Structure 1
Amino acid sequence: MNSRLTRIAAYTTAVVSIFIMGFGLTPTDSSKFSLKDYQVEEGFDLSLIAAEPFLKAPVSLDFDNKGRMWVVEMIGYMPNLEGIGEDVPNGRISILEDLNHDGVIDHSKVFLDKLVLPRGLAHVYGGLLYVDGPKLWFVEIKNDKPGKKTLVDPVYAEGGNVEHSSNGLMMNIDNWIYNANYNFRYQLKNGKWVKEPTSYRGQWGITKDNFGRLYYNSNATQLKGDYVLPNKAIQNKYFKPVISENQKIASDRVYPIHQTSVNRGYQKGVLDEEGFLIDVTAACGPLVYRGGTFPDSYDQNAFTCAPEVNLIKRNVLTFNETRITAKQATEGKEFIASTDEGFRPVNLFNGPDGAMYVVDMHRGIIQHKAYISQYLTEQLGLKKLDTLQNAGRILKITNKAGKLNAVPDLSKASSKELMAMLSHPNGWLRDRAQQILIQRKDLSIVKELNTLAKSSNAYLTAVHALYALDGLNSLSYGSLSSIFNQSEQPETIAHALGLLGRFATVPNVKSMKNLSTQLLARNNTMLDLYLSMSLSPWVRLSGADFFPTLSAIDQKRHAQRLFQEAIVSSLEGKEEKYLQTMNPSDELKRVLTTVLDNHRKEELNPIFVKQTNTVDARTKGLQLYRTICAACHGADGKGIQDLAPPLKGSEYIDGSMKRLASIILHGISGPIHVDGKLYKLNNDMPGMVNNSAISDQDIADIIKYTQNAFAKSPKGIALDDIKKMRAQKPPGSGVFDEKQLLETDFEK
């Protein structure tokens, strides 16, 4: 038996039985579903809890304070292989309910509709934050109906492709809302929305650990993470960290249990000798499990969706003070793997009951038209996967030996009950209890929160208490500084150090200097790291008092580049003075010199100047193709009778790129043979050479798109070559005919 079959056979013997709970659907609806081809890690159950007619094309979800599920339905995504009609406002956000309490959704109602490609939502500040087209909105909720709407960000998802547009909308423990695919974070402060730069993270989906570090991924990288808390390493605007953030922390290897259709399957090294995908190509929707009902060994494991191969990965995270690593939980096996090619897990979430929830978009096409290759288009068509649309599922993963939490109605919980939940094993409950305490503005609990902030436990209750106090505007320099002497938990002190910065005043400098000395004496790696990143506001007040602290950390940790990045983050505007008065390590000196050079050239970390996502070449090429070319050649490139020949199978697409550029620039007059067939066309194809609105880059983008979509073996072209072709006009009418195209040597 070969290795692949051995792996599959071994996996099958370890699979638990998968059951389907009563769906609450009509016989016609339920007959569409079967989970018999799903394999789940031993000890776990997988159940289907929602499907159509209660939802279509789900891509994200969140739970409200009553524990009800709110689902984003991106119905407009790739409605056909040509991707025509995506701008139709048919997306919606629905409330799903289990009215008979049997664990299965039996009722849904639309909260918002007529949305354009909605991608995310979050229950925050007593209302709902959501995406509609390029805009980010906040809407109040009145009896399950939308109330007053506030435009939070008009350019939230402007530019870019839907697969590269901002999403995520996750409230972190620090009271900031973070995103995937966007370099800004949000907070509602004193009745006003605040938007400020943060690091650019990932592509689709974002998650966090108990400490508040962020995790994300891109299509070809299954798991990335930040070694430090958000915004700590980017306080120097002229420095972009390369160690602190955006680190690949896991292998990209996948272990599917069947052959699947993937976008670049024809390229060498994408599939193994048996036709199975080797590495992820569409990783998304990561989740750090914090539900508290799985076995202890699963706590804070990182799970990742791989919809292109119909599986979900499990990674075991290992934390130390300065870095994070992840490894495949079981070599050669995935947490969930399916032979159902319609299984498209795109997002994962912790639930208020401690279960893990899987958003299965359940459709055939998951590759956008701008990126889909001719190879994949043909594969999807042959399998009729393009016909699998407007379906969707929510799946639930539970531990056989564990007991789910009873889902409390947090909207009715007292402040005392909410405070108790800050110590609950379920991270979802801790997070939401913290936010509700802030929204209630109940100052009677401040004293008890201060006591909690000095406690220690595995769930970082003290940190939740700190940020509840922060949200209630009830922190003080005295209450924060007392934590350093009364807490033994480095994680709590790390957060407290960051919060102390808002009290950086001249009268507090002496006390902060003494605190820094005391922390240094502990010789704790995590404390040294966060101290070095938290001194920025104090250094601005008095560099002379805090340079020695940073220098001591540099000398002690000079072999760890992460520390040099942390120190530089605190030295904005003081780099030259530090170099002149201190004796930095070689690495720190190198980084500081680079930062000073960036100052002189006015080269900021791009996150401080970038407002919108850029349009990538293939997306721009698709837009240009549809505007200029599709009317004659067809959206699918198959040509239109009596107007233009097909592009698929055309020697002009598969041949010389310089010749193709010349055709686009100067046009062509028929008749012309394409793929052995004569096309007697009545009209000339006009050239773009005299259109001042079409640049050389536009021509390159059109070629890039047509190559990706229609060519057998995609090729590219340099801008210099397009410029040369622009100047080489054909003789006579200035428009090519077939004879000239065949006789001209475009490659000389």
Structure 2
Amino acid sequence: MRTPFRSPTSILVSTIALLLLPCATFSADQENSNGKQPDKDSKSSDTTGYTGPKRAGGGPTNPEIHFPLPPPKPLTPQEELKTFKLPPGFHAELVASEPMIETPIAISWDDQARMYVVEMRGYMHDVDGTGEDQPTCRISRLESTKGDGVYDKKTVFVDNLLLPRAVMALGDGALVNEPPNLTWYHDTKGTGVADKQDLVTDHFATKGGQPEHMANSPTWMMDNWITSAGYTFRFRLQPGGQFLKQEDVPFGQWGLTQDDWGREFTNSNSDLLRANFLPTSYYLRNNHLTNRTALGVQVMKDQTTWPSVPTPGVNRGYIEDTTKDGKLVKGTLRPNGTLQSVTATCGPGVYRAHLFPKEYYGNVFIPEPAGNLIKRVTLSEKDGEITAANAYEGKEFMTSTDERFRPVNAYTGPDGALYIVDIARGVIQHRGFLTYYLVKNIQDRKLETPFTLGRIYRIVPDGAKPKLTRLPKETERIPAMLTSDNGWVRDTAQRVLVERNDPKVVPDLQKLAATNASPQTRVQALWTLEGMNALTPAVITTALHDKVDKVRAAAVRMSDPATTLPELAKLTNDPSAEVRLHLAFKLSGDAEPAAGKALLTLLENGGPIFGEAAASGLSGHEIDYLDTLLKLPPTEDAKLAKSDVLSTLAGCVMKERNAAHVGQLLDLIGAQPAGGARQVAMLNGMAGKAPGKKSKGPTYFRPLKLASAPAAMATLQASKDGKIKALVARIDPQIVWSGKPGWVEPVVKPLTASEQALYEEGKTIYSSICIACHQPTGQGMAGLAPPLVDSEWVLGDPDKIIRIVTEGLSGPIDVKGNKWQLEMPGLPIFNDEQVAGILTYIRREWEHTANPVSPSFVTAVRAAIKDHTKPWSVDELRKPVDVKKAAAK
């Protein structure tokens, strides 16, 4: 029975299921953002004669199943254990399973090692999603009464939820995400059942929204902010139980983890691992700074995967290897039937304990449920930059021959073991994106049932008998837990100390921060003091001169230049590039002369990212700092050139799109020695990246109208220097003024009421789905998603972008002169009105002025391409479709 304290509005049922799991497709599978789904009873027919239910995932309607296998027998947990293959010296142990739990997707431990489990029991009981609109899910709390890691007691903490996505232990209960709410549920009576709730926000994901791209995995990070994957805000618990909300950069798709220094790691379906090398807050100070090279970095390039058995049951298994221009274009499956590249990665976990051999510490374990495996990658670091590599060649850390082994999250546990959450089912793809191929595979091989399984395993070295660590009840005994060699213990101790905020423990924390032998302990003691608002200049000063660079870097990040500037200035020649980079970001925008002098030294010793650091704190004041830099003697030019700071600042001015500031920038450029390094650098920043030699089609841009013709422009255009002339030629179409020869004031068609409604619907969908990859600014993410701003594919013939959105894109594509290697999934779940809304939004947002797209035009394009069942290539997209002929039919 549902607890009585839940509000009436919270029990409204959605008309769709909210799948959070990455699904078995090439990349991020999608679902309707506003809850609309295709009619379950609608029919589909084509030349093959197929007349069954229409499948929004598309693909050929009468596909051949590659590597047809007999129906796999559902295995008991004990039987499944025997299917696992692990490196010598490791074995898996069952922690919990059905009937105690069903369909687990995420877990979190409190300070007593009690495990909160998200049970998504309503998800996909068959390929039509029957019953998915019922609030049958729950958050359960499991206990290991013997402390040995075998969970033998269960209490339902919150019941009757509609497909919750996340849980995070906090205080006397847990944060729970049941879209659209993030709620703090409390157990004030100590019964294990929530009896009180506090709403943190009602905009944490969207009710009825696209779940795979909605917020998830709230995590108390080392900087004391609760950060989530795929969410544009973060939260900080305040004294009294309130939460501070702050803008954040949306990052990742499903799952979030951190290393010993608080750096964030996550991934997306077909992208194994990305990291933020620096805090997002540095960059968010300046929205004009769109170069964010330290955020969302693809640290793992190799996406190859090695299942131990054929895996025919993947959504795009019908796509075969082909040869194009003499080169092999890989399909989904290898000739032996195994998955070639990851397609459903999720829930990464950095292993941060010493139960495993030392070479495993700091490795990242990544579930791939479509391949029935866990991948292990090793991390390498140089100057604060991280790269990842497969730990094995041609094999994985953990594989299973059981097709229902579906790992979706990996964690370091309170006992130092590696915990694996297994949703344990044949169907992991939501009905909204099931292709005909996968439906046939599921039904022929009887994979719809059972749907009531669920397992949690832990991986343990042979001979080890790990025990769960529980924090002491007494607050004064908890600081000592920061010395643990288990990252989970340290993180939990930090969280609890910050929650309780007891000043009596401050001296112990200060001692740990200054003298403990472990740098990890020193850093976490510092962050604990920061969370308790108990940092002092003396403590920071000691840490600024720590022998370990990671401690110094953390201290710089926590410093207040108002009280520690003299000590910070001593670090300008620090041997660690990471320390210097944090210092450059910290000092950016500081008006003190000593800060400016130190920043100049940092610019001399660093590369282009130091130019980003210098610009990060100068939002709206880039011109002022440029003016300051340009007054430096020519002997300082080396400092300016190495960091590319002049170009970076000039680019920020252009992106600000302030006509007066752009005019001032041209005046500054014109005043520099003709053809000199400073002039060229700023012109480069204004011009932006040059288009590639192979780029085709028109160049799209949004000219900025100045108040009058800039005198400097005429001077620059008259230059005899070929480099200057080329740069000015790129800048010229970007700025206009009344009377400029050849320029005609564009007539922008106002949106009608119905078009404005489409725009608003598209904005909602974009914010739920597209924003994580293409970003709120539309500038995209390096290595993952190309920019939409001024993109020829967005602003050109709308039939091309319609085809991309509905069918997907595979292979290389040039966008604004840069080549991108993409495997973008289609979004066939959206109806014609929704596609028109998305496209109308991106063709009118960010100062775009392209015409809106009508639902009827989307209908006509879809009719013209109805026989196309695979993602498009660029060559195919360049061939126009006969929309009029299709419309006539």
Smaller-chain TM-score range? 0.7 to 0.9
Equivalent of 1:530 in 575, 582, 586: 582
Equivalent of 2:623 in 576, 580, 583: 576
- Given the superposition, is the C-alpha separation of residues 714 and 589 from structure 1 closer, same or farther in structure 2, using an over 3 Å criterion? closer
Q: What's 1:21 paired with?
A: none
Q: What's 1:444 paired with?
A: 504
Shift of 1:76: 2.2
Q: What's 1:633 paired with?
A: none
Shift of 1:134: 1.5
Q: What's 2:471 paired with?
A: 410
5 Å-filtered alignment, 1:249-288, equals 249-250=299-300, 251-260=302-311, 261-267=313-319, 268=321, 269=330, 270-288=332-350
Counterpart-to-counterpart distance in 2, 1:557 and 1:112: 52
Q: What's 1:595 paired with?
A: 652
Shift of 1:245: 1.1
Counterpart-to-counterpart distance in 2, 1:211 and 1:219: 26
Counterpart-to-counterpart distance in 2, 1:286 and 1:215: 8
Q: What's 1:175 paired with?
A: 224
Q: Which amino acid aligns with 2:509?
A: L
Q: Secondary structure at 2:282's aligned position in 1?
A: coil
Q: Which amino acid aligns with 2:557?
A: G
Q: What's 1:484 paired with?
A: 544
Equivalent of 2:534 in 446, 457, 474: 474
- Say whether the 8 Å CA contact 1:210–1:459 is kept in structure 2: no
5 Å-filtered alignment, 1:99-114, equals 99=145, 103-114=149-160
Counterpart-to-counterpart distance in 2, 1:76 and 1:707: 38
Q: Does 1:166 align with 2:218?
A: no
- Say whether the 8 Å CA contact 1:177–1:187 is kept in structure 2: yes
- Given the superposition, is the C-alpha separation of residues 715 and 449 from structure 1 closer, same or farther in structure 2, using an over 3 Å criterion? closer
Shift of 1:714: 6.4
Counterpart-to-counterpart distance in 1, 2:492 and 2:378: 25
Counterpart-to-counterpart distance in 2, 1:464 and 1:225: 20
Q: Secondary structure at 1:88's aligned position in 2?
A: coil
5 Å-filtered alignment, 1:447-458, equals 447-455=507-515, 457-458=517-518
Counterpart-to-counterpart distance in 1, 2:338 and 2:388: 23
Counterpart-to-counterpart distance in 2, 1:302 and 1:156: 27
- Given the superposition, is the C-alpha separation of residues 102 and 592 from structure 1 closer, same or farther in structure 2, using an over 3 Å criterion? closer
Residue deviations 1:393-413, cap 9 Å, x none?
001111125452x33432524
Equivalent of 2:109 in 42, 63, 77: 63
Q: What's 2:609 paired with?
A: 562
Equivalent of 2:203 in 155, 168, 183: 155
Shift of 1:293: 0.8
Q: What's 2:20 paired with?
A: none
Structure 1 unaligned blocks of 5 or more: 1-27, 604-609, 618-655, 662-686, 729-743
Counterpart-to-counterpart distance in 1, 2:307 and 2:864: 29
Q: Does 1:137 align with 2:183?
A: yes
Q: Does 1:614 align with 2:767?
A: yes
- Say whether the 8 Å CA contact 2:128–2:431 is kept in structure 1: yes
Q: CA RMSD in A?
A: 3.5
Q: What's 1:306 paired with?
A: 368
Residue deviations 1:435-459, cap 9 Å, x none?
2222232212212211211236445
TM-score (norm 1): 0.76
Counterpart-to-counterpart distance in 1, 2:571 and 2:451: 58
Q: Does 1:550 align with 2:599?
A: yes
Counterpart-to-counterpart distance in 1, 2:886 and 2:500: 75
Q: Which amino acid aligns with 1:77?
A: Y
Residue deviations 1:531-561, cap 9 Å, x none?
011124xx34x15442222222122113xx3
- Given the superposition, is the C-alpha separation of residues 312 and 707 from structure 1 closer, same or farther in structure 2, using an over 3 Å criterion? farther
- Say whether the 8 Å CA contact 2:483–2:490 is kept in structure 1: yes
Q: Which amino acid aligns with 1:598?
A: K
Counterpart-to-counterpart distance in 2, 1:203 and 1:534: 29
Amino-acid identity (%): 32
- Given the superposition, is the C-alpha separation of residues 613 and 463 from structure 1 closer, same or farther in structure 2, using an over 3 Å criterion? farther
Shift of 1:234: 3.2
Structure ranking higher on relative contact order (CA contacts 8 Å, 6+ apart): 2
Equivalent of 1:223 in 239, 251, 273: 273
Shift of 1:477: 2.9
Q: Does 1:89 align with 2:150?
A: no
5 Å-filtered alignment, 1:664-675, equals none
Q: Which amino acid aligns with 1:498?
A: R
Q: Secondary structure at 1:497's aligned position in 2?
A: helix
Shift of 1:564: 2.4
Q: Secondary structure at 2:432's aligned position in 1?
A: coil
Q: What's 2:488 paired with?
A: 428
- Say whether the 8 Å CA contact 2:587–2:596 is kept in structure 1: no
Structure 2 unaligned blocks of 5 or more: 1-73, 322-329, 630-636, 660-701, 703-762, 771-801, 808-831, 841-851
- Given the superposition, is the C-alpha separation of residues 696 and 210 from structure 1 closer, same or farther in structure 2, using an over 3 Å criterion? same
Counterpart-to-counterpart distance in 1, 2:265 and 2:217: 11
- Given the superposition, is the C-alpha separation of residues 322 and 392 from structure 1 closer, same or farther in structure 2, using an over 3 Å criterion? same
Q: What's 2:379 paired with?
A: 317
Q: Secondary structure at 2:267's aligned position in 1?
A: strand
Q: Secondary structure at 1:280's aligned position in 2?
A: coil
Q: What's 2:692 paired with?
A: none
Q: Which amino acid aligns with 1:335?
A: F
Counterpart-to-counterpart distance in 1, 2:597 and 2:454: 59
- Given the superposition, is the C-alpha separation of residues 450 and 99 from structure 1 closer, same or farther in structure 2, using an over 3 Å criterion? closer
Equivalent of 1:205 in 219, 240, 255: 255
Q: What's 1:494 paired with?
A: 553
Q: What's 1:19 paired with?
A: none
- Given the superposition, is the C-alpha separation of residues 118 and 703 from structure 1 closer, same or farther in structure 2, using an over 3 Å criterion? farther
Counterpart-to-counterpart distance in 2, 1:258 and 1:480: 54
Q: Which amino acid aligns with 1:319?
A: E
